[in-house]
Amino acid sequence: MGEMLAEYMKDRWQSRAEGVILSAPRKAAIAAAFKGLFEDRRIRIPDDDDLREDLHKTRKVVTAGGNVRLSADSDEAGHADRFWAGSLMKESADESSRPVTPAAEEKPEWCY
């Protein structure tokens, strides 16, 4: 899901966008890193019940075959979307060695 959006973003902002496939090992790695921010008290979130609920939706589940996977219940507020957005943000921040300033023609409208 989202492959067309990822392609559009990569075409529009070439070096600033990357498509991500959330395989089970990748999900586990980025979720653990994001969780570590909270454990180390290196992140603060607003006092928002919806955000807090979304961050707590993701659960570790052990399958009958003994595999560990991350799962989240879906409801009208989403499917742990903010949790995964935060996890991807953390991964992106770790991979970035310096801030990227796009050329003027590449700046999205919300940058102004």
pLDDT tens column, 75-97: 887 788 999 999 999 998 887 54
User: Which residue carries 């790695």 as its tokens?
Assistant: 29
- pLDDT confidence of 112, banded at 50, 70, 90? very low
Q: Is residue 85 part of a domain?
A: yes
Which residue range is the domain that position 30 belongs to?
A: 21-96
- Ramachandran class of 41: left when φ > 0, alpha when ψ lies in -120 to 50, beta otherwise: left
User: What does the DSSP 8-state code read for residue 59?
Assistant: E
Task: Tell me the pLDDT tens digit for each residue of 1-32.
Answer: 688 998 999 899 887 888 888 888 899 899 99
- Asked if the structure places residue 74 within a domain, the reply is yes
Is 51 a member of any domain?
yes
Cα 55–Cα 80–Cα 35 angle in degrees, nearest 5: 40
pLDDT digits (tens, 9 = 90+) for 45-73: 999 999 999 999 998 888 899 888 888 88
Residue 60 covered by a domain: yes
Q: For residue 9, is it within any domain?
A: no
Mean pLDDT of the chain: 82
* Rg of the chain (C-alpha set): 16
